[in-house]
Amino acid sequence: MPRQPKHPRDQSPIGTPVAEDIHASLHDAEIRGEHERLAPFEALARLVIMRRAALGISQQQLAKRMHTTASAISRIESGAHATNARTLMRLADALDARAILGFEYGPPAKPRRELVVL
């Protein structure tokens, strides 16, 4: 539950900061589970957005490079949808990059990784 201001003047005119709402909602096991499930997709979304910005291209231009629609790029960049290996390969190619997939195993303090370039 968002904290209540002690005095009306302490209340933000634009409401509670999003980060505060997210932190508060993570106490709910169902919401926390969904947040954890989406974390890898959100991380991929941030990578795509950052790389697209570094290249100075729009979602529409990236879509054209991938032979898809801007709405498909928007879905990837939303971080709310799974992306398959074929799409990752096309995405990497369109971003002048390489997609790498792998497995990590062993102790978390010193994991072993096996990677392949898609």
* 15's tokens: 């409401």
| Virtual torsion, Cα 8, 11, 14, 19, nearest 10 deg | -160
- Model pLDDT for residues 65-87, shown as the tens digit of each residue: 999 999 999 999 998 888 899 99
- Model pLDDT for residues 1-38, shown as the tens digit of each residue: 455 545 455 555 566 676 676 666 667 777 777 667 77
pLDDT grade for 102, boundaries at 50, 70 and 90: very high
Rounded to a whole number of angstroms, the distance between the first and last alpha carbons of the chain is 44
Mean pLDDT of the region 51-57? 96
For residues 92 and 46, the answer to whether their CB atoms sit within 8 Å is no
Rounded Cα distance, 67 and 85, in Å = 16
Which residue is listed with tokens 């997609």?
A: 99
Give the pTM: 0.69
Each domain of the chain, given as residue ranges in start order, spans 17-117
For residues 112 and 104, the answer to whether their CB atoms sit within 8 Å is yes
Give the torsion sign (CA, 101, 106, 109, 112).
Answer: negative
For residues 83 and 41, the answer to whether their CB atoms sit within 8 Å is yes
- CATH of region 17-117: 1.10.260.40
